[in-house]
Amino acid sequence: CIGEYISVICVNDLSSLCQFEAIWYQLILFGFETLNSVLGEQENTFNLKSELNKIDSNKTSPTVFCLIKTHPKNIKINKTLNIYRVWAHKCDNYRFVTLLPEHLRPKNVSETIEVFENFYMIQPKGLIRETHSNLTLKIYYSMIYIYKNLPSYDWYYIVDDDAYVNLANLKEFLKDKPSNISITYGYNFRVIVKGGYHSGGPGYVLSNAAFSTITKAMIEKVSNCPNRGIDDVDINACVRKYKGIKGKSIDQFGRERFLVLGLMTHFQGSYPKWLYGYGENSPQKGLNCCSDSLIAVHYMSPRDVFRLDLAIEVHKNVLKLYDEYQRLKIPITFKNIIKNYILLGDIEKNSNKFKDLINF
């Protein structure tokens, strides 16, 4: 298992530093049994992982199905596999939607095909090449397949394969929201679609009611939903057509949970001019840019995805231990997440950006 992690995280980098990071990452997230074994703990003694999990064991959470857009090139270079390893496996269920790699590709494209090779993939009906213009139909036919075969999840999350997603924060955000009302959440744009729409990059989540309503309309006739070739615009427009609501995902301080651009772009406030006209909320920088309960970030490389997940999970697990044994009740904050993220980058690259970027 550790070997598998090294092969994913250390693509094209077999340095001892990278391998150490991969092993450390697995130990932090999954390896507490291994740690207990190393320490020589017996069956009836303290178990770190079980203690950490006690806090969350009685919680109920909504179910989330993840529909992740990818393509053969990213599958070939293990970018898709990295997404699966880091966060997609934490979805209650998932499918990567793609033109299948050539050795798996069917001759008959008149029906949606599902295969498993390292992870589950579907090639939607009619897809013969990956182009931006057919992206909407790629998602529409995938939604139809999912609705017919996997219809019972509370929420359906459609997202790009260059995004980092924190499923725990997504579920926490959704836990008190009714999935039987037609509503969507994501990064809110105020243009193009009447009533606004959500950026597809960091993803948008549809309630079961919203997903079912528009997918039933597509089954009746695909043209019941618009097809401009821009899937986030088209899907959101279809939800609005059938009276679905665009929800708000900012936190109580007005900070974004879904980031339309890269993490450092938001933190440093180096936004393109167009965003000020598009965004429903005025873009902020520094510690006001991003919520403590960050859900998703767009434009993340495989190493960015790995680093951010590590920054959050280390922070979370350390605080759980402090809370368990010292009752300090220290909250998880974006301030500490970004500090961890930048420091981990310095360790990777043997640089010292931390002293220039962290001045709060």
How many CB atoms neighbour CB 350 within 10 A?
7
- Segment 318-360, tens digit of pLDDT: 887 777 777 777 888 999 999 999 999 888 888 887 777 777 6
CB of 200 within 8 A of CB of 145? no
Residues 297-302 have a mean pLDDT of: 97
CB hemisphere CA count around 277 (13 angstroms): 4
Q: What is the mean pLDDT of the chain?
A: 86
Euclidean distance between CA atoms 293 and 296, whole angstroms: 10
Query: Coil, helix or strand for 318?
Result: helix
- Segment 111-124, tens digit of pLDDT: 999 999 999 999 99
The token pair that represents 170 in the structure block: 């997504």
CB of 135 within 8 A of CB of 231? yes
Q: Considering the entire predicted model, what is its pTM? A: 0.83
| Whole-number pLDDT of residue 25 | 54
CB of 293 within 8 A of CB of 170? no
Lowest model confidence (mean pLDDT) among 31-45, 178-192, 209-223, 244-258: 31-45
Backbone φ and ψ of 74, nearest 5°: -75, -30
Burial 51-69 (b: 16+ CB within 10 A, else e): eeeeeeeeeeebbbbbbbb
Euclidean distance between CA atoms 138 and 110, whole angstroms: 13
Q: Between β-strands 258-259 and 296-297, what pairing exists: parallel, antiparallel or unpaired?
A: parallel
Euclidean distance between CA atoms 142 and 123, whole angstroms: 8
Asked if the model's pLDDT at residue 250 lies above 90, the reply is yes
Higher per-residue pLDDT: 16 or 222:
222
Confidence of residue 32 (pLDDT cuts 50, 70, 90): very low
When the candidates are 3.90.550.50, 1.10.3720.10, 3.30.930.10, 3.60.15.10, the CATH number that belongs to 64-264 is 3.90.550.50
CB hemisphere CA count around 20 (13 angstroms): 6
How many CB atoms neighbour CB 129 within 10 A?
7
Higher per-residue pLDDT: 162 or 42:
162
CA dihedral 211, 216, 221, 222 (to 10 degrees): 20
| Whole-number pLDDT of residue 54 | 46
Q: Nearest to residue 189, comparing CAs of 297, 281, 72, 290?
A: 281
- Segment 189-244, tens digit of pLDDT: 999 999 899 999 999 999 999 999 999 999 999 999 999 999 999 999 999 999 99
Residues 236-258 have a mean pLDDT of: 97
Q: Nearest to residue 295, comparing CAs of 168, 160, 201?
A: 168
Euclidean distance between CA atoms 229 and 246, whole angstroms: 21
The owner of tokens 């393509």 is: 71
In 208-345, which ranges are E strands?
A: 245-246, 258-259, 296-297
The domain limits of the chain are: 1-59, 64-264, 301-360
CB of 199 within 8 A of CB of 244? no
| Whole-number pLDDT of residue 300 | 97
| End-to-end Cα distance, the chain | 39
Higher per-residue pLDDT: 331 or 181:
181
For the chain, what is the largest distance between any 2 Cα atoms, rounded to a whole number of angstroms?
63
The token pair that represents 279 in the structure block: 């965004």
| Whole-number pLDDT of residue 321 | 77
Residues 274-300 have a mean pLDDT of: 96
The owner of tokens 């994501």 is: 186
